[in-house]
Structure 1
Amino acid sequence: MRRRTFLGLSTGALTAASLVGGRAASASASPGLPLGGHERRIVVAADGSGDFAGIQEAVDAAVGGDTVIAVRPGTYMGRVVVPSDRPGVTMVGLGRRMGDVVIADDRANGTPNPAGGTWGTTGSASVTIDGAGFRAHNLTFANLFDEAAHPEITNRQAVAVLTRGDRVAFTRVRFLGNQDTLYANSSAATTVARAYFRDCYVEGDVDFIFGRATAVFERCRVHSLDRGSIPNGYVTAPSTDIGNPHGFLFARCAFTSDAAAATVFLGRPWHPSQDPNAIGQTIIRDSRIEAHIGATAWSDFGTWPWPDARFAEYRNFGPGAAPSPDPDRPQLTPAEAATQTVPAFLRGADGWAPDRHL
């Protein structure tokens, strides 16, 4: 059984009110009002009091420019896809807490697909984001696949969110699942897609943050569920292309778990289809790491040894962070750390700065 954890985090500069045109983000806000400028607003309410009752219907209506989809409290089941021809979509939960709005589905890799075969890992995603410039604030994305209820399904990867678009950002968002919760990816192996997560909560057990995106996690809580086994799981499974200098960066985060001490790894290198150019990168810096992480924090993945990946830490603290001599626990030098920063990962040629403007 999956154990849910609520995390209260600071709101930061971005608020629900700011995303819906400066008005109070309440369930009584009038639907369909323009935001000013070129944005339009769509209200989703499960009880039928908004413009639409479902999330996908609102996404389908988000044409002709940037759109804010304001979601009233409730649980919204069903697969959601934000296609590449829907750029600039923002989803904001109108509840007081992240858990007041839940967008979820319950498929796994091995779940039968009505069209034939099974869904596969990519197809299991509750929410798929291909549209560039997507933002989400103050809500929860979940994959509710129940492993215990389906012993006949052995391929249990069950993605809550798959991102493939560039310049996607999440603030005060929860991502809930077990194996493969958050798939931060791109549209092709050599395509760079950036994703930013601030004041978020991500939970899972096996490879629950994975993919080839350039993804920054700032002030997030990363919670490993207790599977009751050894190993108890792996936090990250990056597949960063060798041509991309920036994979996953965790800055000022907290790595927590109720699992036994030294039973969880910070990551292992994923090589999709045995791709030799997938030289994954995970950098963890200035973060608290609890005792579920052991002295050897990284693991091989099949025949792929972890020392060949780009794994490193810098100035972490907590009972699971005590560095041992290399190569067991690689540490950045101060000079290297100066190049592995949030701006270095996000800016690109277009100067994208969600860490400053959200």
Structure 2
Amino acid sequence: MKKKFIAALILAVSTTLLVLGISNSRAYAASTYNSIVDSSFKGTDGTKLNGIPTYKTITSALNSAPASSNVSYKIYIKTGTYYEKLNINKPNIYFVGENENTTKLTYNVASGSKKNDGTTYGTSGSASLNVSSPSFGAENLTIENSFDYPKNLAKKSNDPSKLQSAQAVALNLSGSSNKAYFKNCKITGYQDTLCSNTGTSYFTNCYISGCIDFIFGAGQSFFNSCNIVSVDMKTPSNNGYITAASTNISNKYGFVFYKCSLQKQTSTMATNSVSLGRPWHPTITLSNGTREADPNAIASVIYMHCNMDNHIKSSGWDSMTGIGPDGKTKIFTPGESRFYEYQNKGPENIVNSSRKQLNDTDALKVTIKNVLNGWNPQ
């Protein structure tokens, strides 16, 4: 009798999980979610299944979320490809995907892509997922910009269909974004994949890929045990730059990579061809109407206890140009920036005169709490 009861209980639990589409490896309690998104759902949006409102699209679920909440509003997103351009403009939204490989949020426009009204998206406007409110979180999903960068790059310069502005952002943290949290996420693209431009953000056990300046902006971000993957652009000497930070001088820290793995996409990728980063000074308009590179954007990037493959340049960092006060092109060098490393591992010549190292005392100060202005993400 006891065995029959246990068997019946197991069957009931398994059936519930199957109805919700939750695999045993991701068996979250249904009661912890405010809504579910299922691309294969055939019913009316908002219909309750097992007591939980269910939607076909993430956009519909977001529209039904409260405008303001002091606690996390959790949206469970089942396996599927969700071709949607998403804007998180409500606080405390939290996405939980069924699986980081099979739950995919994607869109495919670049900075130079035209909208229906004939204008272009611009870099930040190209983002597949734009977060402009505080306390957003995501785990177990892919955030992708699927704009075909290699195809566009291969077009001839006189091809009218070739976009000259091919920056294509997957994730953009802007506006009032702060305390953004990402766990077990894949964030993929080519040029300008991840824009952390404001507030604080934390990434743990994430996979982030791209080629040109693919982690950039003025935000304060801590990358913990992430795979940072450089896409192979098949060139022998320059396969891009990992970071293009524009940290304001008032902030002690910008991007910190802690126990991360800096990987190359292919085993045949050229050695000594990817830079750890370069200093970005965004162009600003002064009160007198002139435009110049922001003099207060003094990039801060630190790599600590990271493993680096041999695609990383022995020189470490690169310079970047901007508009000087005289209106002419100015070169901003790594030496003028706050670029540091500490106890990294990699190919021979990983420590040399062009790669500044933190001393032990300063390294002890580079904690999650200090980098993220007192926030200890959980």
Give the TM-score category using the shorter length: 0.7 to 0.9
Runs (4+) off by over 4 Å: 23-27, 33-36
Q: CA deviation at 1:262?
A: 0.4
Q: C-alpha separation between the residues in 2 aligned to 1:353 and 1:209?
A: 22
Query: Cα distance 1:352–1:156, how it changes in 2: closer, same or farther (>3 A)?
Result: same
Q: Aligned equivalents of 2:109 and 2:238: distance in 1? A: 25
CA gap of 1:242–1:25, structure 2 versus 1, over 3 A, is farther
User: Any idea what SS the aligned residue of 1:162 has?
Assistant: strand
Distance 2:276 2:250 in 1: 23
1:224 maps to what in 2?
Answer: 230
1:59 maps onto 2:59 in alignment: no
Which of 96, 114, 117 is 2:116 aligned to? 114
Q: Provide the residue aligned with 1:201 in structure 2.
A: 207
Query: C-alpha root-mean-square deviation of aligned residues, in Å?
Result: 2.1
Supply the distance in 2 between the matched residues of 1:287 and 1:320 (Cα, whole angstroms). Answer: 14
Summarize the Cα distance change of 1:44–1:320 in structure 2 as closer, same or farther, 3 Å threshold: farther
Work out the CA distance in 1 between the residues paired with 2:104 and 2:167: 20
> Does the alignment pair 1:311 with 2:310?
no
The worse-fitting range, judged by mean Cα deviation, of 234-243 and 113-122 is: 113-122
1:260 to 1:320, Cα distance in 2 relative to 1, 3 A: farther
Q: Which amino acid aligns with 1:170?
A: F
Q: Secondary structure of the residue that 1:57 maps to in structure 2?
A: helix
Percent of aligned pairs with the same amino acid: 32
Please identify the structure whose Cα radius of gyration is greater: 2
Deviations 1:13-55 (A, max 9, x none): xxxxxxxxxx999552299x9846xxx6110000125721111
> Which residue, 219, 234, 237 being the options, matches 2:241?
234
Aligned equivalent of 2:327: none
Instruction: Give deviations 1:222-273, integer Å, cap 9, x for gaps.
Output: 0001112231100000000011111000000000103211000000001111
Distance apart, 1:185 and its partner CA? 1.1
Q: 2:78 & 2:171 partners in 1: Cα distance? A: 20
Q: How does 1:170-181 map to 2 (within 5 A)?
A: 170-181=182-193
Distance 1:51 1:265, change over 3 A: same
**Matches of 2:15 and 2:248 in 1, distance apart?**
43
Are positions 1:45 and 2:38 aligned together? Answer: yes
Which among 274, 286, 293 is matched to residue 312 of structure 2?
A: 293
Residue 375 of structure 2, aligned match among 340, 345, 352: 352
Q: Deviations over 1:280-326 (max 9, x none)?
A: 111000110110012101000012112111100000002167201x3
Pairing 1:101-180 to 2, within 5 Å after superposition: 101-150=103-152, 151=155, 152-164=162-174, 165-180=177-192
Q: Tell me the CA shift for residue 206 of structure 1.
A: 0.4
Measured in 2, the distance between the counterparts of 1:172 and 1:25 equals: 25
Question: Which residue type is aligned with residue 355 of structure 2?
Answer: R
Q: Is the 8 A contact 1:195 1:216 kept in 2?
A: yes
Aligned-partner Cα distance in 2 for 1:299–1:24: 56
Q: 2:252 aligns with which of 241, 245, 256?
A: 245
**Which residue pairs with 1:342 in the alignment?**
368
Cα pair 1:292 1:320 within 8 Å, conserved? no
Q: Is the 8 A contact 1:134 1:167 kept in 2?
A: yes
CA distance in 2, matches of 1:280, 1:25: 50
Give the structure 1 partner of residue 324 of structure 2: none
In 2, Cα distance between equivalents of 1:243 and 1:27: 51
SS at match of 1:344: helix
TM-score, reference length from structure 1: 0.83
Correspondence 1:86-105 to 2 at 5 A = 86-95=90-99, 98-105=100-107
**Alignment check: 8 A CA contact 2:368 2:376 kept:** no
